[in-house]
């Protein structure tokens, strides 16, 4: 195991009606809030009114930044920074999924950056010195952004999609109520599960061989996705299934699995280029690319890891290691992604791409 520093500083408030504790957290964070959210679903579910009422009850002055899109744009980040400076904002509350949270994180860092916020993605993490405090209320499980210091933003002018990371971007608190994910459409739920599964794979397939604890933790999260993924697509209001997947999403990318070993995030890097150009759903891009990456990466040098994956995750065994590895890859692409509508999502994207 390699040396590492451990920091998972986000306070998690997990369970039903935990939004009622939002007021307590805001008193620690600030009373002039930028309220960041997506394209209207929280109004339909009533969550917008609930959060707004909590703001009012706690004498919080808030200004709204609605309309954050999937694959959030740098232009939206710029509008948020302008609002923060105009209204002397001292904290941000992001209500939504990973796109909303990533937009909020970039606004938080860009508020203190003297130049254009896209420079943060060009210069790199060293350009980030300080950020406004952030709190989140999660409505879609998948990205893990509610418990890490990562943010991914698209530049619509240059057709680039880039990531930044810094511990100051970790949310101060995150409210995780699985009931808020009950109304997420099936295709978005499936894409989120593929995303969290892929987060685990990107850290599991590592050249660092001595990572026993991390590997066993990773396998348990993969098993959770495999077990509860099909359940939640059939029973969208199954609380236990939604809860297990929401917590898996957070643990998959809060740093725990990657500590003490090398990771390179090759598939995510390729997907960022894909979705930057074609604006496809992140999880769909990962569903397209991951099986191809596995076929490409399988070699004599990586064989043992693929056998470990096939046997421990998919219970595939045999005398020929290459056959076992190939069966594991086939299980991953044929049983996992296609059974969760990733195949249909891929077809939908293919038609969209031809239309472009």
Q: Are residues 148 and 270 in the same domain?
A: no
Q: Are residues 315 and 256 in the same domain?
A: yes
**Residue 4 belongs to a domain:** no
Q: Tell me what pLDDT residue 284 has.
A: 87
5 is a domain residue: no
Burial 81-96 (b: 16+ CB within 10 A, else e): bebbeeeebbbbbbbb
- What whole-number distance in Å separates Cα of residue 176 and Cα of residue 12? 7
Residues 74 and 21 in one domain: yes
User: pLDDT digits over 277-314, tens only?
Assistant: 888 888 888 988 999 999 999 999 999 999 999 999 99
If asked whether residues 168 and 224 sit together in one domain, one would say: no
| CA 190 centroid distance within chain | 13
Assign residue 38 the CATH number of its domain: 3.40.50.1970
Residue 48 sits in the same domain as residue 172: yes
Residue 274 has a pLDDT of 87
pLDDT of res. 354: 46
pLDDT in tens, 8-59: 889 999 999 999 999 999 998 889 999 999 988 999 999 999 999 999 999 9
Q: Do 163 and 269 fall into the same domain?
A: no
Examine residue 1 and state whether it is found in any structural domain, yes or no. Answer: no
Q: Are residues 344 and 253 in the same domain?
A: yes
Q: How far apart are the C-alpha atoms of 211 and 259, rounded to whole Å?
A: 9
Does 134 lie in the same domain as 197?
Answer: no
Asked if 211 contacts 50 with a C-beta cutoff of 8 angstroms, the reply is: no
| CATH at 289 | 1.20.1090.10
Residues 344 and 225 in one domain: yes
Does residue 6 lie within any of the structural domains? Answer: no
Q: State how many domains the chain has.
A: 2
Alpha-carbon distance of 215 to 205, in angstroms, equals 9
Tell me, yes or no, whether 296 lies in a domain: yes
d(CA 162, CA 265): 13
Q: Which of 180, 205, 224 is the last residue of a domain?
A: 180
Q: Is 92 helix (H, G, I), strand (E, B) or coil?
A: strand
8 Å CB contact between 119 and 113: yes
Question: Residues in the chain with pLDDT < 50?
Answer: 342, 345-346, 348-356
CA dihedral 71, 77, 78, 83 (to 10 degrees): 140
Quick one: 26 and 99 in the same domain? yes
Of 180, 200, 222, the position where a domain reaches its end is 180
Query: What's residue 248's pLDDT?
Result: 98
Which of 161, 180, 199 lies at the terminal end of a domain, its last residue?
180
163 domain residue, yes or no: yes
Judge whether 294 lies within some domain: yes
Query: Does 137 share its domain with 245?
Result: no
Same domain membership, residue 200 and residue 157:
no
Residue 350 sits in which domain range? 185-355
Q: What is the pLDDT of residue 348?
A: 47
């Amino acid at each position: 195991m390699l040396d590492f520093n451990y920091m998972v500083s986000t306070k998690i408030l997990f369970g039903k009606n935990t939004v009622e504790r939002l007021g307590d957290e805001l008193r620690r964070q600030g009373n002039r809030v930028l309220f960041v959210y997506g394209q209207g679903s929280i109004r339909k579910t009533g969550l917008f009114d609930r959060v707004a009422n909590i703001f009012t009850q706690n004498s919080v002055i808030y200004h709204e930044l609605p309309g954050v899109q999937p694959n959030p744009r740098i232009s939206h980040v710029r509008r948020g920074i302008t609002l923060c400076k105009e209204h002397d904002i001292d904290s941000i509350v992001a209500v939504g999924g990973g796109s909303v949270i990533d937009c909020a994180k970039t606004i938080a860092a860009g508020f203190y950056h003297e130049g254009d916020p896209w420079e943060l993605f060009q210069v790199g993490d060293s350009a980030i010195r300080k950020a406004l405090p952030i709190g989140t209320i999660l409505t879609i499980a998948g990205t893990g952004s509610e418990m890490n210091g990562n943010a991914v933003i698209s530049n619509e002018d240059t057709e680039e999609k880039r990531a930044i990371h810094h511990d100051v971007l970790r949310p101060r608190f995150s409210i995780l109520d699985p009931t808020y994910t009950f109304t997420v459409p099936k295709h978005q739920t499936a894409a989120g599960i593929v995303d969290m599964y892929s987060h685990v794979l990107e850290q599991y397939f590592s050249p660092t061989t001595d990572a026993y604890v991390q590997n066993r933790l990773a396998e348990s999260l993969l098993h959770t996705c495999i077990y509860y993924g099909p359940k939640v697509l059939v029973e969208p209001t199954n609380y236990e299934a939604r809860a297990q997947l929401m917590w898996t999403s957070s643990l998959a990318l809060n740093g725990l699995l990657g500590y003490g070993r090398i990771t390179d995030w090759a598939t995510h890097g390729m997907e960022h280029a894909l979705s930057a150009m074609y604006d496809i759903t992140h999880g769909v891009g990962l569903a397209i690319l991951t099986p191809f990456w596995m076929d490409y990466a399988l070699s004599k040098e990586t064989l043992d890891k693929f056998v470990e994956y096939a046997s421990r995750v998919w219970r595939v065994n045999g005398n020929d290691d290459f056959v076992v590895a190939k069966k594991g890859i086939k299980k991953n692409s044929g049983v996992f992604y296609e059974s969760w509508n990733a195949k249909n999502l891929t077809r939908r994207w293919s038609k969209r791409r031809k239309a472009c």
